[in-house]
C-alpha cells in the first residue's frame, strides 16, 4: 500500500473538475508520435527541403567511390559503426599502400579489417562496418 501523509484527503468533485479543466487547457494539442502508416507533418517536409547539406550531397560523388588520387583531403578517415573505432591515414601513405588507382572504400575497409576486434567466426558477422568521413 502506498504511503499517504496524515493530511492527505480526496479532492472534492468541484476541485477535480477544476484540475481537469486546467490540464485540458494546458494541453491544447495531443502529443502523439506518428506511426509508420501516418503522414509526416508539414514541418518535417519543409525541414527536408531547407536542408542545405542535401543540396551539396546531390551533385558531388561520395568519397568512398573515389579513387585515392581523386580525393582532395590529405588525411583520410574511416570509422566503424559497430565498434566505434576510427582509423586515420594520410593520403600519401594510402597511395603507397594500395596504389593511386585504388578505391577509397576498399582501402578503408582493409584498414579496419586488419585491426578488427569483433571476430565471431561467422563470415557474415565478422569485421567492421565502415563509415567513410
Q: Is residue 97 part of a domain?
A: yes
For strands 86-90 and 75-80, give the pairing. Answer: antiparallel
What is this structure's pTM?
0.50
Q: Is residue 49 part of a domain?
A: no
Q: Is residue 90 part of a domain?
A: yes
Task: Give residue 75's pLDDT.
Answer: 92
Q: Looking at the 3D structure of the chain, how many domains does it have?
A: 1
Q: How far is CA 35 from CA 4, 30, 40, 41, in A?
A: 39, 15, 9, 12
- Half-sphere exposure of residue 3, counting CA atoms within 13 Å on the CB side? 1
Report the Cα–Cα distance between both ends of the chain, in Å, rounded. Answer: 56
Residue-wise pLDDT for 24-63, tens only, equals 777 665 566 767 778 877 888 888 777 766 655 555 567 8
**Residue range(s) defining the domain that contains residue 82:** 63-132
Amino acid at each position: 500500500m502506498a504511503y499517504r501523509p496524515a493530511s492527505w484527503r480526496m479532492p472534492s468533485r468541484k476541485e477535480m473538475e477544476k484540475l481537469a479543466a486546467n490540464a485540458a487547457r494546458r494541453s491544447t494539442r495531443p502529443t502523439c508520435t506518428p506511426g509508420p502508416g501516418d503522414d509526416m507533418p508539414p514541418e518535417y517536409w519543409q525541414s527536408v527541403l531547407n536542408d542545405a547539406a542535401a543540396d551539396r550531397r546531390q551533385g558531388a560523388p561520395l568519397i568512398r567511390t573515389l579513387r585515392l588520387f581523386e580525393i582532395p583531403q590529405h588525411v583520410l578517415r574511416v570509422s566503424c559503426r559497430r565498434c566505434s573505432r576510427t582509423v586515420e591515414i594520410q593520403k600519401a601513405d594510402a597511395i603507397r599502400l594500395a596504389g593511386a588507382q585504388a578505391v577509397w572504400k576498399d582501402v578503408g575497409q582493409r584498414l579496419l579489417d586488419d585491426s578488427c576486434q569483433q571476430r565471431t567466426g561467422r563470415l557474415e558477422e565478422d569485421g567492421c562496418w565502415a563509415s567513410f568521413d
